[in-house]
Amino acid sequence: MKKLVLTLILCIPNLVFASSGGPVLQKANTNVHDTAAVLDGAKLYFNYCIGCHSLQYARYQRFGEDMGLTTEQLKENFMFGAEKPGELITIGMPADDSKAWFGVTPPDLSVTGRSRGPDWIYTYLLSFYLDDAKASGVNNTLFKDVAMPHVLWDLQGWQKPVYKTVKGEDGHEHQALVGLELVDKDKMSEAEYKKKVEDYELSARNLTTFLEYMAEPAKLKRERLGIWVLAFLIFIMLPVTYLLKKEYWRDVH
């Protein structure tokens, strides 16, 4: 019996590993309470993404209020295609047209921060690479044969795949994709390259933070409220409970 239990325990990590055999995601390390990050991500979003992706469950006004923006700031920086702050964040591109252009209608991204999760979005934005076989000229290591063009190429630059010869289980050698690197890597010093990569990672992180906030704007308030609830429990309820306990037990002893 002991042996069986031990075997089962030893098998658990393998089972978990086998079931999570998907691609490795990079940690986004986002913080939705960092208003500057959400705002930077929003700026990027309204410059690079809004042409194709609506946020149709969100209103400009709510976003402005959450970020502490005046109506003027909201209008000037974010409301390019809208008239009133109370409007939903929709787009003008007809779904049929975009389907004809890209083969798929670009999805609404209102809830993608939750459905895909921050790590997925962040990794996705880092994973575009040049691929001659595709009509758009790019592919994505996380989202194979993706229909989206690499719209952030002017921020990131172009990446190429890096292959390594590996021996397969059948003993034959084959080329395996082991990573991506910027095409211009050789033209840059090590410090320049590092900075370029880090700058883009920050943009991708901020965009992810914005989408995470969009998927659950109430999180900002809920988490702040949560801290007060915890403080109440610890600083008020705990001493009261302790005193009560002492009081009850005094009679027993």
**Nearest-angstrom CA–CA distance, 206 and 37:** 5
Which pair of structure tokens corresponds to residue 243?
């005193």
**Nearest-angstrom CA–CA distance, 192 and 182:** 12
79 binds ligand HEC (CB under 6 A): no
The nearest distance, CB 117 to ligand HEC, in angstroms, is 10
Of residues 119 and 181, the one with the C-beta less far from ligand HEC: 119
Binding piece for ligand HEC, criterion CB under 6 A, among 62-70, 100-108, 131-139, 164-172:
100-108
Residues in Cβ contact with 157 at an 8 Å cutoff, skipping those fewer than 6 apart: 182, 183, 184, 196, 200
Give me the 44-63 binding string for ligand HEC, x by CB under 6 A, dash otherwise.
----xx-xxx----------
List the one residue out of 71, 37, 45, 12 whose CA is nearest residue 209.
37
Give me the 207-236 binding string for ligand HEC, x by CB under 6 A, dash otherwise.
x-----------------------------
Count of residues that interact with ligand HEC, criterion CB under 6 A: 21
Binding piece for ligand HEC, criterion CB under 6 A, among 78-86, 108-116, 172-180, 187-195:
108-116
Of residues 30 and 112, the one with the C-beta less far from ligand HEC: 112
How long, in residues, is the chain?
A: 253
Crossing angle of helices 190-215 and 35-48, rounded to 10°: 90
The nearest distance, CB 58 to ligand HEC, in angstroms, is 15
38 binds ligand HEC (CB under 6 A): no
Give me Rg for the CA atoms of the chain: 25
Binding residue (CB under 6 A) for ligand HEC from 28, 79, 121, 126: 121
The nearest distance, CB 210 to ligand HEC, in angstroms, is 9
124 binds ligand HEC (CB under 6 A): yes
Q: For residue 236, what are the CA distances in angstroms to 224, 230, 232, 233, 248?
A: 18, 10, 5, 6, 19
Of residues 60 and 124, the one with the C-beta less far from ligand HEC: 124
Alpha helices in the chain (DSSP H): 2-19, 35-48, 60-67, 71-77, 95-102, 112-115, 118-126, 153-156, 190-215, 218-232, 238-252
**Nearest-angstrom CA–CA distance, 207 and 213:** 10
Buried b (16+ CB within 10 A) or exposed e, 110-143: bbbbeebbbbbbbbbbbbbbbeeeeeeebbbbbb
Binding piece for ligand HEC, criterion CB under 6 A, among 142-150, 166-174, 175-183, 242-250:
142-150
Binding residue (CB under 6 A) for ligand HEC from 148, 205, 212, 215: 148
149 binds ligand HEC (CB under 6 A): yes
Which residue ranges make up the site for ligand HEC (CB under 6 A)? Answer: 48-49, 51-53, 102, 104, 106-107, 109, 112, 116, 121, 124, 146-149, 151-152, 207
